A = this chain, B = another copy of it.
Amino acid sequence: MELYSKHISKLIEQLGRLPGIGPKSAQRLAFHIIGLPEAQVQELASSITEAKENVHYCRECGTLTDQELCPICANPRRNHRQIMVVENSRDLAAYEKTQKYEGVYHVLNGAISPMLGIGPDDIRMKELMQRLQGDVDEVIIATNSSLEGETTAMYISKLIKPTGIKVTRIASGVPVGGDLEYIDEVTLLRALEGRVEL
């Protein structure tokens, strides 16, 4: 016997496909959604379809936006000669929240991963090299501090160095407020190697 009726099972299955949502959460979410007022359910469903319909990649930096050119690329007060390379739009948002970075971005939409079969052609590397034909002073590589992120950073820096453009990498080390006791050894060694004089 099926535990749930067809429509409930289908909703649970669909929700269970989303990242980080296990079978139990999917079940809980499904019952919650069914219990919501009609209007709220419509709003949820339409926010999904409308986001998909209207959001695409910025033609300049590749971040997700609903305009042709994202607000950052379209902003003449940003420093368009300084490009920060990030893996995805969420990482871009993380740096934007600091409200201190005044340059522009380049979103790779991925990272090189031989394990997953993702090579340089699968991320927006060609687009980055094209942008470097213009006037660029510095490329700041802000890919993640993971194996994939580091591999990507190395690859990009090797490719750019011959052009003479300055390439930098964001620092790795102990996070601010981090308790040494709970930080992994690789990070601790990185923090030691990257020590600065006081």
Q: Which residues of A contact B (CB under 8 A)?
A: 1-8, 10-11, 13-15, 17-21, 25, 27-34, 36, 38, 41-52, 54-55, 64-67, 70-71, 88-90, 93, 96-97
A97 touches B3 (CB 8 A): yes
Contacts of A36 in B (CB 8 A): 52
A50 touches B7 (CB 8 A): yes
Give the residue of B43, B66, B93 whose beta carbon is less than 8 angstroms from that of A6.
B66
Complex-state Cα separation, A31 to B20, whole angstroms = 13
Complex-state Cα separation, A195 to B26, whole angstroms = 36
Contacts of A54 in B (CB 8 A): 7
Contacts of A50 in B (CB 8 A): 7, 10-11
Among A33, A52, A96, the one with the most B-chain Cβ atoms within 10 Å of its Cβ is A52
Contacts of A70 in B (CB 8 A): 5
A51 touches B90 (CB 8 A): no
Complex-state Cα separation, A69 to B29, whole angstroms = 24
Contacts of A33 in B (CB 8 A): 18, 48, 51-52
Complex-state Cα separation, A2 to B34, whole angstroms = 32
Contacts of A47 in B (CB 8 A): 7, 10-11, 13-14
Closest to A25 in B: B20
- Closest approach, in angstroms, between the C-beta of A111 and any C-beta of chain B? 15
B8 touches A64 (CB 8 A): yes
Contacts of A15 in B (CB 8 A): 44
> Knowing A33-B18, A64-B34 touch, does A7 contact B55 (C-beta < 8 A)?
yes
- Closest approach, in angstroms, between the C-beta of A180 and any C-beta of chain B? 25
Give the residue of B1, B3, B5, B27 whose beta carbon is less than 8 angstroms from that of A55.
B5
Give the residue of B3, B19, B89 whose beta carbon is less than 8 angstroms from that of A93.
B3
A90 touches B45 (CB 8 A): no
